[in-house]
Amino acid sequence: QIFVNGNKAVILEVNSETDFVAKNDEFKNFVNELGNALLNSDASTMEEALKVSVDGEDIATKVVNITAKIGEKLSFRRMEVVTKSDSESFGDYIHMGGKIAVLTIVDNASTEVAKDVAMHAAAMKPAYVKSEDVPTEVLDKEKDIMREQLLNEGKPADRIEGILVGKVKKYYEE
């Protein structure tokens, strides 16, 4: 779920074991309470978030209690607090009933443009946001696949490394 208030937003992931529970009003209300409490707190890490009070209980206790009440294991898996400047716009998009959530910040653009960017990101399903985030082993595996494809296409072996530079750049763009 995504919660926005002014220049601050919180995106969070709360998991249930079944879609039946995820569609349950009690679960939805719990996620809303959680998001609003985090939005109105100073928490910026999961450790801090678990200590935030909701109706007199910290979130860690609240998760345990709602799990017992609903009868299915719930998990407050992760969250991110994001702030923007006045010249920036938040774009948020939730797809597939909450299975995919995207929050973007776009500078000098409208909220509609920021939402379009969020929708595009959801459709693309990027594994990483920045090229620096791609683990070396993942990039090495991708390069191996690219090398094999180039050889199968009949490209000269002595030119493959040069061609790989462009292919890696394209991989990062995607």
Alpha-carbon gap, residue 70 to 64, rounded angstroms: 10
8-state DSSP, 149: H
Beta strands in the chain (DSSP E): 2-5, 8-15, 53-54, 57-58, 75-83, 88-95, 100-107
State the pLDDT at residue 128. 82
- The pLDDT of residue 171 is 87
Q: Are 55 and 75 in contact (CB under 8 A)?
A: no
Longest dimension (CA), the chain: 69
Residue numbers of the chain with a pLDDT score lower than 70: none
Given this model, what pLDDT does residue 45 score?
Answer: 94
Q: Which among 121, 111, 110 is positioned nearest to 91, based on CA atoms?
A: 111
For 114-163, the pLDDT digits (tens) are 999 999 888 887 788 788 889 999 999 999 999 999 989 988 888 888 99
- Residue showing tokens 């039946």: 20
